[in-house]
Amino acid sequence: MKTVEDYIRTIPDFPHAGIMFRDVTTLFADPRGFRIAIDQLLHPYAGMGIDKVVGLEARGFILGGAIAHQLSKGFVPIRKKGKLPARTIEQAYTLEYGEAVVEIHDDALQPGERVLIVDDLLATGGTAEAGIKLCEKLGAEVVGCAFIIDLPDLGGRKKLESLNMDVHALCAYAGA
């Protein structure tokens, strides 16, 4: 029986020399692989009373939309600054070389709503932490963060767990 890892393509030296890029587009393109990933991502959270699924730009939109559909719940995007059309709140976070900003519509979540944050990859945890802060600013409760891939050497899981987050990843790869 195939696992999620069997559907993920590795591309050496992308986008820079020494990086092993884990390409999930091959997973998304395969109907069985995509189904396995969605089922495994949502499984720990089934029956937890999730109100909304929040997807982090950009591959988190693909996963989050599919998970929201499976749970019959709404989907909320967190996007890069300047991409959402209505009034937003924003959160800055640190990148390897600089800073970035993500936003959410200021009416996307209601106080007390329970949300699941979804993305394809957990590296340093900066984007996910910014997403958690945005959800919490709107009064929502983040019940967990789900990812296809964890890169544990980059410390994202530890960062999110230090925020008392439940972190679920389908597979892990050593290195960057």
Catalytic: 136? no
Instruction: Exactly one of 9, 32, 90, 96 is catalytic; name it.
Output: 96
Burial of 78 (0-12, 13-18, 19+ CB in 10 A): buried
Among candidate residues 22, 59, 114, 157, the one labeled active-site is 59
CB count, 10 Å around CB of 145?
28
Give the length of the chain. 176
Residue 96 annotated in active site: yes
Give CA–CA dist 174/69, Å, rounded.
32
Specify the amino acid at residue 146.
Answer: A
Enumerate the active-site residues. Answer: 59, 96
